[in-house]
Structure 1
Amino acid sequence: MASAKIFLIFLLAALIATPAAFAILVPTLVSTHISGLVFCSVNGNLDVFNGLSPQVFPNASMQLRCGATNVISSTITNGSGAFSLVVNTFPLLNCNLVVATPLSTCNATLQSNGRLASSLRLVNITLGSGTGLIRVGLAPTGFILNLNVN
């Protein structure tokens, strides 16, 4: 009877210690990758007036903002309007992508007040085999001119 109790105590101790030991050997890191395209348009869609696709927004300053104004990370779009951010912050709560460069920079006929902004959507989650790295892929839901954002 006493040996059964001792066995159960050792079994419970082993079960409790195993996840802790595994966590020490394989730390879990979360890397969040955010990428997308920015167009020189108030809504990023086709121009309903003449059916032309909007031009891309090159060299635009991009910001990942969490909360009202807290900038977590920033980058600049390339010549094709593409951007990519990598942050090790997760979860990203109440975060949006904001194009800090005024829209009138890419087209003088567009507004200079307000900024393009987009919420984020989950694209994928990848688990690293044996590395403990979790890669979360996010993308913008769609940039829309927001007159309340500066």
Structure 2
Amino acid sequence: MAFKYCLLLGLFLVAAASMAMAAQAQMGLGGGLLALMRIQGTVFCSANVTDVPINNATASPVFPNAVVQLQCGAGNTVVAGATTDGFGLFSIVLDPLQNVLSTLLTGCTLVVKTPLSTCNANLPAAGRLLSSLQFVGNTLVGPFNVSNVVPAGFQFLPNLN
């Protein structure tokens, strides 16, 4: 009787361990780390790409309260969005179970939906700022392995609305 009990307990532990490892593999939790993707950057109030800061010298003011959308695919589906703070900074956090980094980098763009005339009345009301994405590395934040992505550089497209 004791032998059957030990055998049954052993089989149960093996099954539980197998299910835990399968769940961990499906969730991408290698090494017990959770994964995230973070897109962050600064939006400047300028239609001229050359006005963005170089070597920490700010030529253009930042663009506060601008709506930034992550659009993906042929239909430009809005996947996520954020609003810039008073310093023009935005941050979008994505779940890598729903978004693949390679697809994000090749099939998605950041679009600033707020017209430039909102931050400066002398700038055009039509058109939008658009940027492709660039992977800059991974960082560990507590238990999270964060894939860091930044805008490759916003460009003004006068015909984009």
TM-score (norm 1): 0.73
Matching residue of 2:42: 37
Q: Could you say which residue in structure 2 is the equivalent of 1:9?
A: none
Whether the 8 Å contact between 2:40 and 2:91 is mirrored in structure 1 is yes
Give, in angstroms, the shift of residue 146 of structure 1: 1.1
2:94 matched to 1:87? yes
Q: What letter is aligned with 1:28?
A: G
Q: How does 1:53-64 map to 2 (within 5 A)?
A: 53-64=59-70
Q: Specify the code of the residue in structure 2 equivalent to 1:121.
A: Q
Whole-Å Cα distance in 2 between the matches of residues 124 and 98 of structure 1? 22
d(CA) in 2 for partners of 1:127 and 1:83? 20
What corresponds to 2:118 in structure 1? 105
Hey, what's the Cα distance between the residues in 2 that align with 1:144 and 1:134?
A: 30
The number of aligned residues is 128
- Where in structure 1 do 4 or more consecutive aligned residues deviate above 3 Å? 18-23, 126-129
For structure 1, the 5+ residue unaligned runs are: 1-17
Using structure 2 for the length normalisation, give the TM-score: 0.68
CA offset at residue 21 of structure 1? 6.2
CA-atom RMSD in angstroms:
2.8
Deviation at 1:22, TM superposition (A): 3.3
Shift of 1:95: 0.3
Aligned pair in 2 of structure 1 residues 59, 71: CA closer, same or farther (>3 Å)?
same
* CA positional deviation for 1:82: 0.3
Letter in 1 for 2:113: A
Pairing partner for 1:145 from 120, 132, 156: 156
Report if the CA contact (8 A) 2:49-2:156 is conserved. Answer: no
User: Which ranges in structure 2 are unaligned for 5 or more consecutive residues?
Assistant: 1-16, 30-34
| SS in structure 1 of the partner of residue 40 of structure 2 | strand
The equivalent of 2:10 in structure 1 is: none
